[in-house]
A and B are shown apart, each in its own frame.
Chain A
Amino acid sequence: MKLDILERLNAARQKRQAAILVTDLASGHLRLVVEHEGYDGDPLADELRRRFASGASGTVGEANTFLTVHLPPPRLIVIGAVHISQALAPMAKLAGFDMTIVDPRTAFATPDRFPDVTLIAEWPQDALPKLGLDPFTAIAALTHDPKIDDGALEAALRAECFYVGALGSRKTQAKRLDRLRALGLDERAVARVRGPIGLAIGAQSPAEIAVSILAEVIATLRSRGAVAKEAAA
């Protein structure tokens, strides 16, 4: 592999752009296809389109060409610099998620409480457009405060984030969904809000709740079909 191709690939990954490395296994020759740069004229266009959708790497043709598919890494944006977020931050990092915390309450969002996480002390309505939500992003709303959570949930649903979850009881969830409907979101969209958030593992402590949230995020990521099919291997 030539260093300049690796540089371009890493630059695309850095910018959260999907890219496919096409390797001729016989000659060792390889080229890079970056999704947003277009590939309509490519002899492998149909195959490339399919691979961008599935995220699955693999060989094509007589197994002489190998496609390494690189989709953007999953991100987790947590609304609320709360106790659960403190436990979730190191776990999410270990699991390979790029985690960001958004909370406009500067008393909560202090670097002291979150030493190794990207922390944005702004309202979600201001912070999220700058972060650029996409289908490779998960949002967990943990403030318990509709003023802060609702705007983030609305933005996440409209951006087709792969996971949208919110902390709160079933009653809280029902009221929340009514408010989201009032914002003009349809039934398919509001049905995507996971609440009460997290897998039902009987979690009690903030750390246990963080485990249940992370497990649910991973389960959703691995079942959406548009990411590398690791489980299928």
Chain B
Amino acid sequence: MPTPDLDVLAAAEAWRKAGRDVAIATVVETWGSAPRPVGSHLIVDGEGNFEGSVSGGCVEGAVVGEALDVIAAGKPKMLEFGVADETAWRVGLSCGGRIKVYVEKLD
């Protein structure tokens, strides 16, 4: 959804034109209570700087890491996050929902 001050797609275009590597992550599916709606974007540059949100903070760190891989490999990737696994300290959604995030490189 539009937030003029944080227009991530405009930022993605500007970053790319400034010569930065850019990956775009998009929430493509949600189940249960998900913090950010389908269509939400997060953009990441080659140095791990990011703008936008796919989960309201729960899994952004993991998505940024995966985005750096996508930038390096050039191939899109589908990520899936569920409820946090407390014993293993894995990232997840504390709200108990699940989300699917598509990450692609901006060529």
Contacts and interface: CB of A to CB of B under 8 A. Distances in A.
Interface stretch (B31-39, B44-52, B81-89): B31-39
Given A1-B106, A3-B16, A6-B106, A230 B9 contact: no
Interface residues of B, number: 29
Nearest to B99: A233
A74 B39 contact: no
B9 A25 contact: no
The DSSP consensus for interface residues of chain B is mixed
A25 B75 CA distance: 11
Contacts of B37: 57, 228-230, 232-233
Given A63-B29, A93-B4, A69 B39 contact: yes
A227 B1 CA distance: 9
The DSSP consensus for interface residues of chain A is loop
B10 A66 contact: no
A2 B107 CA distance: 5
B36 to A, nearest CB: 7
Interface stretch (A7-15, A42-50, A139-147, A179-187): A7-15
A56 B40 CA distance: 11
A111 interface: no
Interface string B5-34: 100011011001100000010101110001
A73 B2 contact: yes
B2 A233 contact: no
A57 B28 CA distance: 8
Contact of A56 (B13, B38, B105): B38
Interface of A: 1-3, 6-7, 9-10, 13, 23, 25, 28, 56-59, 63, 66, 68-69, 72-74, 93-94, 96-98, 227-230, 232-233
Given A6-B16, A63-B29, 15 more contacts: A1-B106, A3-B107, A6-B13, A7-B13, A28-B75, A56-B39, A57-B37, A59-B28, A59-B29, A66-B26, A73-B2, A93-B4, A94-B5, A96-B4, A230-B1
